[in-house]
A and B are shown apart, each in its own frame.
Chain A
Amino acid sequence: MNAVVDKAVTAVIEGVENIDFKMVAFSLAGKDYSIDIMKVREISKATRFTYVPNSLPYVRGVYNLRGDIISIIDLRTMFNLPSVKSEKNESDEIIILRLDNYLLGVIVDSIDKVVGISSSSIQPPHPIFGDINIKFIQGVVEKDNKLYIILDVESIFGLDAENVEVIPSQYTPKAVYAENKPEEINMGFISETLRTFSKFTVTDLNNRWVEHRFEEWKTLKGNNSEDLQLHSERDSEEFLSRFYSVDTGRFWSEDYRNIVSSLLENNSSGTLRVWNPGCGKGYETYSLAVLLSEKFKEASIKIWANDKDLMSISNAPNLALDKQNLPEYMDKHIVSVNSKSQFNQKIKDIVLFEYHDITHPNTFPAVDIIVARDVLSFLAYSEQLRMITEFQDKLVPDGLLIIGQNEELPGNDWKKIKSNSITAYRKIV
C-alpha cells in the first residue's frame, strides 16, 4: 500500500518537475555521462577513420561525414582511461558535437538515450571526482536512480590551447606539443629525439628544465628550425650536457658534500640504510659512504647501490683510485693495496654494489635515504611513475630523497627542500 502511494507521490512530483534540460546520456568505462543535447548534432556509428600523423594521442583520425571532414576524438584516451581493444570490424559509437563553428566527433563506449531533467536539479560537481578533471564537469544530476555526470564540452574541446594542456592527468609524457606554432613542433621533435638518442623521457619531472634549455638552445643555434633539431646522439648529449647535477659521475667536491651533509638530520636509531639506484661507476656512492661514516660514526650504515650497466658497475667494488684527483677530505679513508690506492675496508663494507635493474623487484628493506640523481629522467614514463611510487613505499616516514637538481617531483605527496644545487624531498609523515 505504502509503495503505491510513494509511486503516486513521485509521479506527482515528476509531473510538476519542469523538464527544461535534455541531454544525451552515454557510458564510458562503466560510468554514466551526458552532454547537453543542444551541443549534439547527431549520433552515428562509424569505423576506419583516416589516421592523421603527428596528431595528439587522443585524436583517432578524421572522418568523412556526408561531405564534412570532422576530427574524431577518443574520450577514453583523452581522459586517461584504459583503452579497450575493439573487435576488428566493430564500429564505434560516435557523438557528433556542434561547437561554435565546427563539428567534432567523440568516441564513447555506448550511447544510452536522451534524458530530460530540470536544470534546477543539476548539482555542482564534487572536487573528488576521480577520472576526469573537475574543470570539465558542468554538474551532476540524478535521474531514475542513475547518476549522470554532465560534461562541459565547451571547456573540453574549446579552442583555448591552455585547456588542451591540462586535460591529461597531472603527469603525462609530453606528447602535448602539436599545436600549430612551428616552434612547438620543434619542441615535440626535441622530446622525441631525446628519447631516441639518450633514452631521456620528457615529462613533468624535467619539463621545466627542458623548456628552459630549449630557449637557451634557440639562442645558441639560431632560429633556423633545421639547426634546432637534434640529429644524432652527440646533439642530444650536447642538449643534455647542462642537465646533469653538480659532480655527476665523480667524487663529490667538498662543497657539494657539505650541502648534502646539511640535509642530514641526526640519526638516533643506530642504523642508517641508503639506496643509491643508478650508481654508475660508484664514485658518488663512495662519496656518500665517506660522508655518512664521518657524520654518523656510531651508526651501522648500509648502502645498496645498483646499476643495470654491467660495464660501469663491474669495477665499482674494487675501485682503483687516482690519488691526484681525490678530494682532500677522503684521504684518511684510503689505503694502499699492492701499490694501488683503494678505499679502506670500513668504507667498502658499507656499500653493496649490485648489478640490478631497478625496474625489477627491489627486495631490500625500507631505507632512510634515497639518492637517485639524474636517474628517473632516463626511464620510460610508466617506469618513472612506478619508481616514484616505489620510492614512497621504500622510504621510512620523513625519509630523505635526493633527485637530480634539474628534476622535480610532480604532485604534493612530498615535502620539498630546495637549496642551491640540490633537489631533495622528505616523505610526508
Chain B
Amino acid sequence: MRVEYINPFVEAAFDILKEVLGDDIQRGELYLKSTSQAVQGVAAFVGLAGNVEGRVLFDMSMETALAVASEMNGETLTELDDLGKATITELANMITAQAVTKLHDLGFTFDLTPPAIFTGENMEITDNEVEALIVPVIVKQGKIEINVAVRERT
C-alpha cells in the first residue's frame, strides 16, 4: 500500500474513536497481511473507488460492537438491533470519510461506497491479490481492527 495512505487512515481512526469513545485508546503495531483472515463477529465495510480500488473493513467482536454502540447512543443495548447496526455503520463511515478528506488534501481523489455491515460467526474474508494493512486499536470496550486494502489502479 502506498506509504502516503497509511497515516490518514491511522489518524482518522484515532481522532474519531477518541471523540466518540473517550481518551482511553491505544494503538497496536501496524502490520501487513495477505492471506484470508478470520473476522471476529461484526464487520463494517466501506468500499473505495477513484484513483484507487479497495476497501476498509472495521472488524470487532459482538461484545465490543454492543459496548461501542451503547456508549455512542448513551443507553445500554443488549442485542445488535437496527439501531446498533446503524451506529457501527456510522462509525465506519465517519472514520473512512475523515481519512478520505485528509487524503484529498494531499491530492489523492477517493470515492466512498455506502457502508455495509456483516454479522455472524466464523466469518472469513479473502482478498485476492491485495494485501491489507492492519491497524489494531484497543479501546476500553475491546479491540477494533481496521483492515485497509487499497491498491493503485493500473
With contacts A314-B3, A355-B1 taken as known, whether A361 is within 8 angstroms of B32 at the C-beta atoms is no
Which residue of B is nearest A305, CB measured?
B3
Cα distance, A254 to B6, chains bound together (Å): 34
Query: Within 8 Å CB of B3, what residues of A?
Result: 313-314, 316-317, 353-355
| Shortest distance between the CB of B87 and any CB in chain A (Å) | 31
Q: Would you call A213 an interface residue if the criterion is a C-beta within 8 Å of the partner chain's C-beta atoms?
A: no
Within B117-154, the residues touching A (CB, 8 Å) are 129-131, 133, 151-152, 154
Query: Within 8 Å CB of B34, what residues of A?
Result: 357, 360-361
Cα distance, A364 to B2, chains bound together (Å): 13
B129 touches A355 (CB 8 A): no
Label chain B's interface by main secondary structure: mixed
Interface size on B, residues (CB 8 A): 16
| Shortest distance between the CB of A112 and any CB in chain B (Å) | 41
Q: Would you call B82 an interface residue if the criterion is a C-beta within 8 Å of the partner chain's C-beta atoms?
A: no
Q: Would you call B75 an interface residue if the criterion is a C-beta within 8 Å of the partner chain's C-beta atoms?
A: no
B32 touches A357 (CB 8 A): yes
- Contact flags B24-46 to A (C-beta < 8 A → 1, else 0): 00000010101000000000000
Q: Would you call A174 an interface residue if the criterion is a C-beta within 8 Å of the partner chain's C-beta atoms?
A: no
B32 touches A356 (CB 8 A): yes
| Shortest distance between the CB of B92 and any CB in chain A (Å) | 22
Interface size on A, residues (CB 8 A): 17
Q: Would you call B4 an interface residue if the criterion is a C-beta within 8 Å of the partner chain's C-beta atoms?
A: yes
A317 touches B4 (CB 8 A): yes
Query: Within 8 Å CB of A353, what residues of B?
Result: 2-4
Query: Within 8 Å CB of A363, what residues of B?
Result: 129-130, 151, 154
Which residue of A is nearest B1, CB measured?
A355
Which residue of B is nearest A308, CB measured?
B32
**Cβ-neighbour of A352 out of B2, B6, B32 (below 8 A):** B2
Cα distance, A12 to B6, chains bound together (Å): 81
Query: Within 8 Å CB of B151, what residues of A?
Result: 363
Q: Would you call A182 an interface residue if the criterion is a C-beta within 8 Å of the partner chain's C-beta atoms?
A: no
| Shortest distance between the CB of A343 and any CB in chain B (Å) | 15
Cα distance, A316 to B2, chains bound together (Å): 11
B131 touches A357 (CB 8 A): yes
Q: Would you call A15 an interface residue if the criterion is a C-beta within 8 Å of the partner chain's C-beta atoms?
A: no
Cα distance, A360 to B32, chains bound together (Å): 9
Which residue of A is nearest B35, CB measured?
A360
Query: Within 8 Å CB of A357, what residues of B?
Result: 32, 34, 131
B154 touches A365 (CB 8 A): yes
Cα distance, A317 to B7, chains bound together (Å): 12
Cα distance, A313 to B3, chains bound together (Å): 7
Within A347-398, the residues touching B (CB, 8 Å) are 352-357, 360-361, 363-365
Binding site for B on A (CB under 8 A): 308, 310, 313-314, 316-317, 352-357, 360-361, 363-365
Q: List 26 interface pairs A-B (beta carbons < 8 Å), by A numbering.
A: A308-B32, A310-B6, A314-B6, A314-B7, A316-B3, A317-B3, A352-B152, A353-B2, A353-B3, A353-B4, A354-B1, A355-B3, A355-B133, A356-B1, A356-B32, A357-B32, A360-B32, A361-B34, A361-B129, A361-B130, A363-B129, A363-B130, A363-B151, A363-B154, A364-B154, A365-B154
A308-B32, A310-B6 known; 8 new pairs, CB 8 Å cut-off, are A314-B7, A353-B4, A355-B6, A355-B32, A361-B34, A363-B129, A363-B130, A363-B151
